[in-house]
Structure 1
Amino acid sequence: MGARIQIVQGGHAVGNQPDTVIATLLGSCIAVCLHDAQAHVGGMNHFLLGEPENTKPLSPADLQCYGIHAMELLINAMMAVGAKRDRLRAHIYGGANMIAGMSAIGRRNAEFARSFVEMEQIAIGRIDVGGTNARRVEFMPYEGRARAMAAVEADPISRQRTMAPLPTPRPAGDLELFSPQGR
């Protein structure tokens, strides 16, 4: 069994060995898998939001949660092990709208990812975004193969916890908690 690399929000990983699998779990976040078929180099990132909304300075750790930074980190890491930017092919996953009635963060994240990839003139292979289910994504960076599986098979309303009804109390004997004096 080869190496299995699990990435979380703000993370990325690159691989160039045949037995490596990079995996993540996504809700409204996005994972972009990039692959250079000639160099047998691939990588995946996992970002929270496309771009920061404010102009205040962010720490390097905070920046990694944004797609604009996460994409450059991934591309640079791949180029460091032999990938060429003009040979990259992308797969885009995630962007679910996990909570009904909330703003469409997932949709905006997916739009950012697609726009970035197109602007950088990176070929797009597969796009699996939107919906209401979380996804598990596994990427084989050496071959460039990816698969996404629904992690939750429920709509947002049915995900809410429901409580079982309380049992109907059985009749019990009379109980007097406070007895007035003199009675």
Structure 2
Amino acid sequence: MTTNNNSLYSLDGASTQQAPRRYWDPNFKHFAVKVAPGAHYVTNNKEEMIVTTLGSCIAACVRDTEAGIGGVNHFMLPESDSGNWGGVSASMRYGNYAMEVLINDVLRMGGARNRLEIKLFGGANVISSSSLIGSKNIDFVETYLRIEHMAVSAQHLGGEQGRRIVYFPSSGKVKMKLLDKHDNDVVVAEEQVLKSKIEKSEIEGSIEIF
């Protein structure tokens, strides 16, 4: 969905179709666009930065290094009871969808595949579960990019703490903050709700959108 001439965003099926939150950040002197779970945002506006908060979720920051077009997605793959994270998994298709939509929107706005810079964040094991959702998210995105022959220029993945990411698409600069216990607990609670929504979602065609 297009918000203006220089940005693209999408929201998950459970969300109201409204533009993502955009506000002026006096510290960074940029307009900040907050990306929620199940959403992504792409822009070529040099005055914008993209913000998201991650627990076990993954955010990919993708940009064309010459054109200054870039964006961020925020996705979470649900726990697989069978341990099968292969091609028949509806949750795997959702992760695949999140990556493909972000990359395709960067290309659609004028980016070139051979100039893409990719940075990865998140995948902490913050939700109490024997399935280690964060680790499976990391396995998925690394496998996806390897199959697509796309290199990762920087990453900060895993661990047990959530992260707040601030991404500047025009330069590729990323500022990251590890969350303290209070903020970590808030992220865990939000992701538990998201995980519950995912598990109750029905598959529409070949993609599960929650």
In which range does the TM-score fall when normalised by the shorter chain?
0.7 to 0.9
Contact 2:78–2:133 under 8 Å retained in 1: no
Q: Deviations over 1:17-66 (max 9, x none)?
A: 2221111010000000011111111110000118986969x8xxx999x2
Q: Deviations over 1:156-175 (max 9, x none)?
A: 9xxxxxxxxxxxxxxxxxxx
Instruction: Report matched runs for 1:69-84 at 5 Å.
Output: 69-84=97-112
Q: CA RMSD in A?
A: 2.8
Deviates more, 1:26-35 or 1:120-129: 120-129
Contact 2:64–2:112 under 8 Å retained in 1: yes
Do residues 140 (structure 1) and 146 (structure 2) align?
A: no
Q: Describe the shift of the 1:89–1:9 C-alpha distance in structure 2 as closer, same or farther (beyond 3 A).
A: same
- Of 158, 162, 169, 1:130 maps to 158
Aligned position for 1:31: 59
Contact 2:121–2:155 under 8 Å retained in 1: yes
The answer for unaligned runs of 5 or more in structure 2 is: 1-28, 185-210
Contact 1:136–1:149 under 8 Å retained in 2: yes
- Of 68, 92, 95, 2:120 maps to 92
Aligned position for 1:167: none
Aligned position for 1:2: 30
How far apart in 2 are the matches of 1:121 and 1:111?
Answer: 15
How far apart in 1 are the matches of 2:176 and 2:140?
Answer: 20
Opposite residue 37 of structure 2, the aligned amino acid is Q
Higher helix share: 2
Q: Describe the shift of the 1:51–1:77 C-alpha distance in structure 2 as closer, same or farther (beyond 3 A).
A: farther
Opposite residue 99 of structure 1, the aligned amino acid is I
Aligned position for 2:22: none
Aligned position for 1:106: 134
Contact 2:79–2:133 under 8 Å retained in 1: no
How far apart in 2 are the matches of 1:50 and 1:127?
Answer: 22
Contact 2:51–2:165 under 8 Å retained in 1: yes
Aligned position for 1:49: 77
Do residues 22 (structure 1) and 22 (structure 2) align?
A: no
The answer for unaligned runs of 5 or more in structure 1 is: 157-183
Identity %: 35
3-state DSSP of counterpart to 1:123 = coil
Contact 1:51–1:67 under 8 Å retained in 2: no
Q: Deviations over 1:113-137 (max 9, x none)?
A: 1111222122211110111001001
Do residues 119 (structure 1) and 147 (structure 2) align?
A: yes
* TM-score of the two chains, using structure 1 as the length reference: 0.73
Q: Which has the larger radius of gyration?
A: 1
* TM-score of the two chains, using structure 2 as the length reference: 0.64
Contact 1:50–1:113 under 8 Å retained in 2: no
Q: Which has the higher contact order (CA 8 A, sep 6+)?
A: 1
